[in-house]
């Protein structure tokens, strides 16, 4: 058996009874697991499709940024989750995904896990995980969400991450050796499906206080910058839909995440 089939078998065994909810493809390499799933958009067979790649040659972050990974040193995968028509506004999805990752890390023994709005997971201020959510709406108003997650498990010596000072990995964040990638992924998928099921029926409101408990910048001054002029203020937490509440000189401003990209109708999901 190749490593990828060994890994798939191990993942299925760690998932146990949950395995039937997922369609797993574990491959050697691709440009980006998010791009592959968005382009291929598997038909709806009632399962959540998961694409794991040992190596990404063009891993993506938000707004054209790069996500760096190292075979064996990283876990990079994307999950296709379908939400029925009428699901609450997708703005909170990145936050729900971040919370699922944070809870998984806590369960395996990481302390000091923090969430940085909208989509980063930090450990004591250093970035351990990146999340990229991309959406494809269908004609029946259901929504296909592709959630890409990259986790640093054990960065090789001398690994340099561009444009980012504080970076960490699981090997440093844990006192014992990190779990295997299939075991870690099984924990993550279990947590993601639990929180997405809750999100689908109750929206982000149901997850808001758990998110805020881990907010890395609660009551701290922050600057929000992006396509428009930068805005400074104190971070007052998040709204019921996942928007950031920024206390500025002009009063409270709701900042919407710029990490969610909508694509035009098309593909099999339409
Ligand atoms: P930031 O982390 O600066 O707030 P962002 O949330 O927009 O940015 P993402 O889209 O989550 O960032 O990820 C892309 C960025 O993450 C890159 O620009 C780089 O700074 C950083 N990065 C890339 N690879 C890694 C990695 N393996 N570990 C930690 N950070 C990384």
Q: Is 138 a domain residue?
A: yes
Q: Is 22 a domain residue?
A: yes
CA 61 to ligand 1 centroid distance, Å: 6
Taking alpha carbons only, the member of 136, 90, 60, 143 closest to residue 256 is 90
In a mutational test of the pocket of ligand 1, which residue from 68, 124, 127 has the highest number of ligand atoms less than 8 Å from its CB? 127
pLDDT tens per residue, range 214-225: 999 999 999 888
pLDDT tens per residue, range 180-191: 999 999 999 999
Identify whether residues 22 and 146 lie together within a single domain.
yes
Distance CA 217, CA 233 (A): 11
Identify whether residues 174 and 244 lie together within a single domain.
no
Signed CA dihedral, 87, 107, 189, 193: sign only: negative
Phi, psi of 102 (to 5 degrees): -60, -45
Q: Is 125 a domain residue?
A: yes
Report whether residue 49 contacts ligand 1, using a CB cutoff of 6 Å.
Answer: no
Identify whether residues 204 and 80 lie together within a single domain.
yes
Report whether residue 87 contacts ligand 1, using a CB cutoff of 6 Å.
Answer: no
Identify whether residues 230 and 202 lie together within a single domain.
no
Check whether 245 has a pLDDT greater than 90. yes
Q: Check residues 202 and 162 and name the one with the higher pLDDT.
A: 202
Identify whether residues 238 and 137 lie together within a single domain.
no
Identify whether residues 202 and 230 lie together within a single domain.
no
> For ligand 1, atom 2, which residue shows the shortest CA distance?
120
Identify whether residues 229 and 147 lie together within a single domain.
no
* CA 34 remoteness from chain centre: 11
pLDDT for 260 equals 44
Check whether 258 has a pLDDT greater than 90. no
Check whether 149 has a pLDDT greater than 70. yes
Ligand 1 atom index nearest CA of 130 = 11
Identify whether residues 52 and 143 lie together within a single domain.
yes
Reply yes or no on whether 62 is catalytic: yes
- Which range of residues forms the domain containing residue 235? 221-262
Reply yes or no on whether 127 is catalytic: yes
User: From edge to edge, which strands make up the β-sheet containing 244-248?
Assistant: 221-224, 231-238, 244-248, 251-255
Domain harbouring 154, CATH code = 3.30.930.10
% pLDDT > 70, the chain: 93
Domain harbouring 239, CATH code = 2.30.30.100
Phi, psi of 16 (to 5 degrees): 60, -130
DSSP letters of 19-59?
GGGEEEEEEEEES-HHHHHHHH-----SSEEEEEEEEESS-
Identify whether residues 55 and 147 lie together within a single domain.
yes
Identify whether residues 135 and 155 lie together within a single domain.
yes
Number of domains observed in the structure of the chain: 2
Ligand 1 atom index nearest CA of 118 = 6
Identify whether residues 104 and 237 lie together within a single domain.
no
Identify whether residues 49 and 100 lie together within a single domain.
yes
């Amino acid at each position: 058996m190749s490593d990828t089939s060994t890994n798939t078998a191990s993942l299925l065994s760690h998932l146990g009874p949950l395995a039937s909810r997922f369609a797993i493809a574990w491959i050697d390499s691709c440009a980006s697991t998010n791009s592959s799933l968005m382009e291929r958009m598997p038909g709806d067979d009632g399962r959540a499709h998961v694409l794991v790649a040992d190596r990404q040659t063009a891993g993506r972050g938000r707004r054209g940024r790069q996500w760096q990974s190292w075979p064996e040193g990283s876990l990079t995968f994307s999950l296709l989750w379908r939400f029925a028509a009428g699901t609450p506004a997708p703005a909170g999805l990145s936050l729900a995904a971040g919370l699922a990752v944070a809870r998984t890390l806590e369960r395996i023994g990481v302390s000091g896990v923090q969430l940085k709005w909208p989509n980063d997971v930090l450990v004591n201020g250093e970035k351990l995980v990146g999340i990229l959510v991309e959406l494809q709406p269908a004609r029946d108003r259901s929504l296909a969400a592709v959630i890409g997650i990259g986790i640093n498990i054990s960065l090789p010596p001398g690994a340099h991450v561009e444009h980012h000072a504080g970076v960490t990995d699981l090997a440093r964040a844990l006192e014992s050796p990190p779990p295997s990638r299939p075991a870690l992924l099984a924990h993550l998928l279990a947590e993601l499906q639990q929180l997405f099921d809750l999100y689908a029926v109750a929206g982000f409101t149901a997850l808001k206080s758990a998110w805020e408990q881990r907010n890395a910048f609660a009551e701290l001054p922050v600057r929000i910058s992006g396509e428009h002029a930068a805005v400074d203020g104190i971070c007052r937490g998040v709204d019921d839909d996942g928007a950031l509440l920024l206390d500025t000189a002009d009063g409270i401003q709701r900042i919407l995440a710029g990490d969610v990209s909508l694509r035009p109708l098309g593909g099999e999901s339409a």
